Amino acid sequence: MRRLRTFIMVLCVCVILVCANMLYQDRMETKRGVDSHQSIRGAVLLPDTQPEQGTAIPEVDFYSLQEINPDIMAWIYSPGTPVNYPVVQGRDNQFYVHRMFDRSYNRSGSIFLDYRNTPDFSDKNSVLYGHHMQTETMFSSLEGYKDQSYYESHPFIYLITKTQVYKVELLAGVVQRATELQLEFEDDEDFFHYVAVHKRNSTFISSVEPVQSDRLLTLFTCLYDFEDARYILIGRLVEATADDLLVNGQNPPGTQ
């Protein structure tokens, strides 16, 4: 019996040590992910203060970022939230699931554009994927849109490309099971039906109504409400003008 008790005690200690090591490795990997994103933000200039008129947005040095990774397509920024990341696009929808912007392995992954979308966001619906991290990084904050008050505080986000700044006016956020998202539509009726269904099921109420010529941007992340739960946040892309925003006191790209 003494040998058995000793064996059980040793086994329990080993299990505790293994679990502790796994927890440590997990925290270190998460920290490396956060540090990696912080390091590339040196190529992004955020204004120190909000201007009296307009909305301050990041000034992105795409040239420097392309030197690190030519897969960069845009930068996504949501004022007042943790969303402030580069957007990449791979040859499939798997590579950047667990790859950082510098392409190193990390479970936090990157924000990436669906590989089937055109890189200039000219498709009728462009989809961005991002993890729901327990550290409240990446797309974790999208869950906030389950509350009307959060939407009212953050009714739009910005998508900054090499040539244009888009103000993404949010129109719906939906909790659903994991499914293939629709990127193109058969006709206008199909498009408006798609929008109507998602607005009807939205977790918040928005007065934004797209028109025929509009393009959509959809943000896609996991939820833990039930098995295979996902949250998708949909907005329409509107080209920002100099009257809409300021970039460190200067006109945004493509609006001079």
Within a domain: 59: yes
The CATH number of residue 109's host domain is 2.40.260.10
Q: Count up the domains in the chain and report the number.
A: 1
Within a domain: 215: yes
Within a domain: 97: yes
Within a domain: 118: yes
Within a domain: 131: yes
Domain region containing 105: 42-239
Within a domain: 25: no
The per-residue pLDDT for range 133-153, each reduced to its tens digit, is 877 789 999 999 999 999 999
HEC assignment per residue over the chain: CHHHHHHHHHHHHHHHHHHHHHHHHHHHHHHHHHHHHHHHHHHEECCCCCCCCCCECCEECHHHHHHHCCCEEEEEECCCCCCEEEEECCCCCCHHHHECCCCCECCCCCEEECCCCCCCCCCCEEEEECCECCCCCECHHHHHHHCHHHHHHCCEEEEECCCCEEEEEEEEEEEEECCCCCCCCCCHHHHHHHHHHHHHCCCCCCCCCCCCCCCEEEEEEECCCCCCEEEEEEEEEEECCCCCCEECCECCCCCC
The per-residue pLDDT for range 172-210, each reduced to its tens digit, is 999 999 888 999 999 999 999 999 999 999 999 999 999
Within a domain: 233: yes
The per-residue pLDDT for range 6-52, each reduced to its tens digit, is 545 544 444 444 333 333 344 444 444 455 556 676 677 665 444 44
Within a domain: 88: yes
